[in-house]
Structures are given as C-alpha cells and as structure tokens.
Amino acid sequence: MAAGKRVLITGVSGQIGGVVREALVGEHDVSGIDIRKADGFESTVADMTDLEAIQPAFEGIDTVIDLANSPQGNLPWHAAYRNNIPAIYNALEAAKRAGVKRVIFASSNRASENYELDAPYSNICAGDYTGLEPGRFPLITPDMPVRPSGPYGIAKAMGEAAGRYFSDRHGLSVICLRFGTVRPDNKPANVRHFATIFSHRDLAHLVERCVAAPDSLRFATFFGVSNNTWRFWDISNAQELVGFDPQDNMETYR
C-alpha cells in the first residue's frame, strides 16, 4: 500500500479518470468507482445516482476526486437533471457520511463559458487577435458570477454551489476545478483550443497539488488550463493556494 492518502476516484473509467489514476497510483492508496469496470484496476461498479449503493466505497477514504458524470457538453436538460446533478450531490453526501476530509470536484469551464460571447474572449476563440496582446486583457476569474452555456454547465455550477454548502455547513474541504478542454491527443482540434486546452500533464499536476493542499483550505474554485499564450482564465489563486504551475503551451502546435 502506498504511504500517501486514501483516495477514491469516481468516474474512474473515463478519460480524465485514467489520467488522474495514473498520476496518483504509487503515491497514494487509490480506489475507484464507476458505472462500468475500469480496465486493469480494481474498482466498485455502482451508479452514482444510487446513494446507498455507492456509500461503502467512500468508507475509510481521505480524499474523493469526483469525476463521475455524463461528459457530453451538449447534454440535454433531462439527462443533467436525472444523472449529473444527483451524482454530484450524492458524492458530497456520501463523503460527509463517511467522514471524508476533502472532495475535489471536477467542474468545467462550461460553468462560465458564456463569457465567451463577449469581447475579447469571443475574438480569441475565433482566432482573431487583432489589437490584442497576450496577458494584457482582463482574465475571467473564478469569483465572477457563473455564466453556464447549457444544461451541462448548469449542473456543474450547481455542483459548485452544493460544494460550498457542504463546506460551510458540514466542514468538508471542497475544491472545484473548472477544467478546460481535455483532448485524448493533447492537441488543438480548433482555434479555440489554442487558448483552452488543459494537457494531461498539467491536469494531473493540478489534481496532485489539490490532494496535497493543507486541510486549512476549506473551499476554492480553480480554473484548470495549460500555460497557453492566449489563455483567458485566471489561475492566480491556484498558483498561490496550491502551487499550480502548468508547463504546456498549445502554441507548440500552431
């Protein structure tokens, strides 16, 4: 058994679950839960919308990394309502019941994506950098009001609100990570991605830093994005509070 913390990854069979699992195994005692079996990894098979079914997996855990949801960005409301929102709430409730110290919640940039309707973010996403200089325009910060772009983003924003509640009322340490674009090949597939991609290496690093963060960090929301030249999300609080130091820059593929 690893000498670190006892970590449970929900949604362990997904793309991000695999990245996180690979980063943490060896340093921590890692277990998983998902609606389907994880290849080559011992995990609990259960539906996150069934609180009683998932509860045993949370017992004895120090840190939960909650990745379980239907990941489609264009998710219809009925699916977000029936699956993603209950899954998020159940992860927090099961963690509270089991005495877990920290939940790291995989939120999404889609909780604030509609800022991209406004300049200069709309210009950057369209690849029009006329009159703009990297680092010389206001960034979208985690403390700005949420502006979700659809049911998927609404569910993520609700998850952040639920995390705040469980932190305030039940003493659970909750860190919400608004992941940028995570691609299987780590490469941009459109112009927007030059600003928004979150490489696997940088994602693993941010999660590792959040697992290691002091217990005194009771609640925080961080944007997760690589060190892209045209990044428009503010990561300064993650740099200050947990030592996030992203390395990759999508201009490599320009």
- The answer to whether 202 and 239 are in contact (CB under 8 A) is no
Nearest to 91 by CA among 160, 1, 4, 192: 160
Q: What is the pTM of this model?
A: 0.96
Mean pLDDT of 41-69: 96
Q: Does 217 score more than 60 pLDDT?
A: yes
Residue 124 dihedral angles phi and psi, to the nearest 5°: -60, -45
- The answer to whether 31 and 42 are in contact (CB under 8 A) is yes
Mean pLDDT of 74-80: 91
Q: Round to whole Å and give the CA distance between 23 and 188.
A: 23
Helices 85-98 and 51-58: crossing angle in degrees, nearest 10, is 40
Q: Does 3 score more than 70 pLDDT?
A: no
- What is the separation of C-alpha 28 from the centre of its chain, rounded to a whole number of angstroms? 19
Task: Out of 32-36, 38-42, 121-125, 182-186, pick the least confident.
Answer: 38-42
Query: In the prediction, which pLDDT does 2 show?
Result: 52
Q: Does 1 score more than 50 pLDDT?
A: no
Q: Residue 219 carries which DSSP code?
A: E
Q: Does 83 score more than 80 pLDDT?
A: yes
H/E stretch holding 17 reads: helix 15-24
Task: State the chain's mean pLDDT as an integer.
Answer: 96
Given the DSSP bridges, would you call strands 63-66 and 43-45 parallel, antiparallel or unpaired?
unpaired
* Each residue's pLDDT tens digit, 169-194: 999 999 999 999 999 999 999 999 99
- The answer to whether 112 and 140 are in contact (CB under 8 A) is yes
Q: Quick one: tokens of 5?
A: 């913390």
Q: Round to whole Å and give the CA distance between 162 and 109.
A: 17
Q: State the fold for domain 6-253.
A: Rossmann fold (3.40.50)
152 sits in the region (left: phi over 0; alpha: psi -120 to 50; else beta) called alpha
Q: Quick one: tokens of 181?
A: 């674009």
Task: Out of 39-43, 110-114, 240-244, pick the least confident.
Answer: 39-43
Query: In the prediction, which pLDDT does 7 show?
Result: 98
Q: Does 195 score more than 60 pLDDT?
A: yes
